[in-house]
């Protein structure tokens, strides 16, 4: 992308590479700014409760508006569950929480048939999956059958109970958490199942001053802050439609494909050093998720078109759970983050 094009895009004018006869960027920008204004209210409400995790709040909104699901990974006490509850508290939707344990059964998640002695018939009893927001707390503590039941519902957006298909409500969002340090009594998600999550967000500890504020909020005499409803389910569904209208140039599409392909054939992009470190690259689902996440990131920032910085902002969260590393990488203490950083620093930016 040349400097002139970059200037036009940042200034909010029509990019020189855009097909101006088919896409009115100025009108689209105005529409996006108008329809994304309610997101600022959601952010303000969530920041009352969640301190020092602005990136997590942003990623939760990306998953919600891109019609994806999100996996939050972090040590206990980093407000993973609280963040999800806070988001559901800002939107007028149904929320349910499932605490995953080793003795959990698929029926505990999706529901089962209950016999009614009065009518002498079996009637379906729907499980907690029949909510708009489902918090799957410590998902890696449940056995494979339960994980499969949940992930099938995530993919198909419906469940089958005794031969009858029930569609899940809209919007539908699964927010799963997992603890990376405890291995006892856990069932790590297979790569094929983790791939169903649009984003995997890794959380870190808050800064000193942020932790002091967290402490004050929790031990002070005043009541703990709460969120209020500032958006409806209808506004979320409408925003999802509008996100799809965000303009993405062919050069940006090519950039996304190049980033994904660089994890599969790194030698073709001058990354020969990664060839023996990657056992498998990102799937085609990564390309789709990155494009949708980049459009949503632009929407959250009240912009009607995608720029390379949007792609770079969402790339780590889209890719980190879709790249497999070899034993050589582990021996050399190379992480997925290192691989993604090398890919982002090497692949040519349009």
pLDDT digits (tens, 9 = 90+) for 246-295: 999 999 999 999 999 999 999 999 888 888 899 999 989 999 999 999 99
Measured CA to CA, the distance from residue 161 to residue 207 in angstroms comes to 47
Q: Are both 2 and 114 inside the same structural domain? A: no
Measured CA to CA, the distance from residue 302 to residue 37 in angstroms comes to 8
Which range marks the domain in which residue 283 is found?
1-35+246-350
For residue 119, what are its two tokens? 């009518």
Establish if 45 belongs to a structural domain: no
The neighbour count for residue 184, using CB atoms within 10 Å, is 4
Comparing 196 with 310, the larger pLDDT belongs to 310
Contact 9, 2 (CB under 8 A): no
Q: Are both 210 and 83 inside the same structural domain? A: yes
Establish if 240 belongs to a structural domain: no
Q: Are both 308 and 194 inside the same structural domain? A: no
Highest mean pLDDT, choosing among 16-25, 54-63, 69-78, 216-225: 54-63
Contact 65, 296 (CB under 8 A): yes
Q: pLDDT digits over 40-65, tens only? A: 999 999 888 888 788 888 999 999 99
**pLDDT mean over 314-339:** 91
CATH number of 228's domain: 3.40.50.300
Q: Which of the 8 DSSP states describes residue 303?
A: -
Q: Are both 86 and 207 inside the same structural domain? A: yes
Establish if 224 belongs to a structural domain: yes
Q: Are both 331 and 298 inside the same structural domain? A: yes
Helix (H, G, I), strand (E, B) or coil at 144: helix
CATH number of 279's domain: 1.10.8.80
Establish if 40 belongs to a structural domain: no
Confidence of residue 19 (pLDDT cuts 50, 70, 90): very low
Establish if 222 belongs to a structural domain: yes
**Among candidate residues 166, 232, 200, the one with its CA nearest the CA of residue 323:** 200
How much is the pLDDT for 4? 41
Contacts of 345 (CB under 8 A, 6+ apart): none
Q: Are both 167 and 114 inside the same structural domain? A: yes
Helix (H, G, I), strand (E, B) or coil at 280: strand
Comparing 311 with 18, the larger pLDDT belongs to 311
Confidence of residue 184 (pLDDT cuts 50, 70, 90): low
């Amino acid at each position: 992308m040349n400097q002139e094009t970059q200037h036009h895009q940042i200034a909010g004018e029509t990019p020189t590479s855009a097909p101006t006869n088919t896409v009115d960027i100025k009108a689209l920008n105005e529409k996006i700014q108008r329809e994304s204004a309610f997101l600022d209210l959601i952010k303000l409400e969530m920041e009352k409760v969640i301190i020092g995790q602005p990136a997590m709040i942003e990623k939760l909104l990306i998953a919600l508006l891109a019609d994806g699901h999100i996996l939050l990974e972090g040590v206990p006490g980093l407000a993973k569950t609280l963040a999800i509850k806070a988001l559901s508290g800002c939107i007028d939707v149904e929320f349910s929480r499932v605490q995953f344990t080793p003795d959990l059964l698929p029926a505990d998640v999706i529901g089962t048939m209950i016999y009614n002695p009065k009518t002498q018939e079996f009637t379906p009893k729907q499980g907690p999956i029949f909510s708009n927001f489902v918090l799957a707390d410590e998902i890696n503590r449940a056995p494979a059958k339960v994980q499969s039941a949940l992930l099938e519902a995530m993919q198909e957006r419906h469940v089958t109970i005794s031969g009858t298909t029930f569609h899940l409500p809209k919007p539908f969002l699964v927010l799963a958490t997992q603890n990376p340090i405890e291995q006892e009594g856990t069932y790590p998600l297979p790569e094929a199942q983790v791939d169903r999550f649009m984003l995997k967000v890794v959380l870190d500890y808050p800064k000193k001053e942020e932790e002091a504020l967290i402490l004050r909020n929790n031990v002070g005499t005043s009541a703990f802050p709460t969120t209020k409803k500032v958006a409806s389910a209808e506004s979320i569904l409408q925003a999802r439609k509008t996100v799809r209208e965000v303009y993405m140039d062919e050069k940006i599409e090519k950039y996304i494909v190049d980033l994904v392909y660089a994890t599969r054939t790194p030698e073709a992009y001058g990354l020969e050093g990664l060839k023996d470190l990657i056992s498998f690259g990102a799937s085609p689902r990564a390309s789709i998720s990155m494009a949708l996440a980049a459009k949503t990131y632009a929407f959250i920032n009240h912009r009607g078109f995608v720029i390379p910085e949007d792609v770079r902002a969402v790339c780590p969260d889209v890719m980190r759970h879709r790249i497999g590393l070899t034993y050589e990488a582990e021996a050399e203490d190379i992480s997925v983050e290192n691989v993604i950083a090398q890919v982002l620093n090497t692949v040519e930016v349009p």
